[in-house]
Structure 1
Amino acid sequence: MSHRLRPVEPDFAETAPLRLVFAAEIAAPPAAVYTALAGDVAGWSHWFTWVAGAAPTAGGLGRQVRLTGGAWFTETVLAAEAGEHYVCRAEATNVPGMLALLEDWRLVPAGGGTRVRWLCAADGRPAFRFALTLARPALGRAFRASMHALDRYVG
């Protein structure tokens, strides 16, 4: 069942009731990582562990993302600073109990490659918050595996 989420702005990354932050360094340069994030949305399923499919919408101003297991999101791109920063807000989903979701990707040059930081800011009903908190270790493992795969994908 689909439901609309509360619209949030980029500052939600700092104020969300639940913030999951993951970081990794990869060999790929920031420009290549940014292109994979923002310019090759359909390619996400080749490197992001839990993404079964993704497609740009609204002329690149949005995304439709399907995860393995059946969850999906319709998203709007809120910030796109080439080689540095990419922010998306979920507009609708089929995830029960979710009220708001924002993804904030930061890319910083590091050691000849890129330090990738992914912040997932969320709000939801208590059961959703509890489940997402329990999922933190699995999300961390998926992020690290995805960064290794991204490095191979853009390399």
Structure 2
Amino acid sequence: MLRQLRPEGLGFVETAPVRLVFAREISAPPEEVFTALAGDVPGWAEWFSAVTRARAIEDTSLGRDITLRGGIRFVEHVLVAKSPEVYAYSVASTNAPGLRALVEEWRLAPAGTGTRVQWTFAADGSAPFRMVLKAVRPGLGRAFRDAVTALDRRLAKH
């Protein structure tokens, strides 16, 4: 069963109790990366291995319905979709235990002919949740690097 989380705006990426920030440069241009992030919601399951299902929600008050490996589900509200610079969303409801608020921000910047991709994972939750999240930071970093690398390969084929 999904439960509502505390709504947070984009400013939460700077003030959250737990902020995990990862960055990587890829060869795809920012416009293509932005389109993959914001415009091809089902495509996330093809390049982000933690995502098993992703679909856009037609209701304009929400944005995406995401299922992760292990059955964790997020219903997200898109906060910002400013091409080709930033794509950010907050989690409106989830079945993840201990989570109280979550905002994710993807910042894109030109890097030569490619893109510097920065992902900020900003969260609040119970003390045990925060401890676990900090402990899994290396794994989230690997998941990000693998996902962005897979996205870059996918975009090179198109």
Same fold per superposition (TM over 0.5):
yes
CA distances 1:50-105 after superposition (whole Å, capped 9, x unpaired): 01110011367500000011101000001010111001000000000000000011
Distance in 2 between the 1:136 and 1:79 partners? Answer: 25
Distance in 2 between the 1:151 and 1:58 partners? Answer: 28
Distance in 2 between the 1:117 and 1:72 partners? Answer: 23
**SS of residue in 2 equivalent to 1:41:** coil
Alignment of 1:57-136 (within 5 A): 57-58=57-58, 62-136=63-137
Unpaired runs of 5+ in structure 2?
A: none
**SS of residue in 2 equivalent to 1:66:** strand
Specify the code of the residue in structure 2 equivalent to 1:23: A
Distance in 1 between the 2:92 and 2:80 partners? Answer: 15
8 Å CA contact retained: 1:49, 1:143:
no
**SS of residue in 1 equivalent to 2:43:** helix
Corresponding residue of 1:6: 6
Deviation at 1:3, TM superposition (A): 1.1
Specify the code of the residue in structure 2 equivalent to 1:45: A
Runs of 4+ off more than 2 Å: 58-61
Distance in 2 between the 1:38 and 1:11 partners? Answer: 20
8 Å CA contact retained: 1:104, 1:120:
yes
Distance in 1 between the 2:59 and 2:31 partners? Answer: 21
Q: Percent identity?
A: 54
Q: Number of aligned pairs?
A: 155
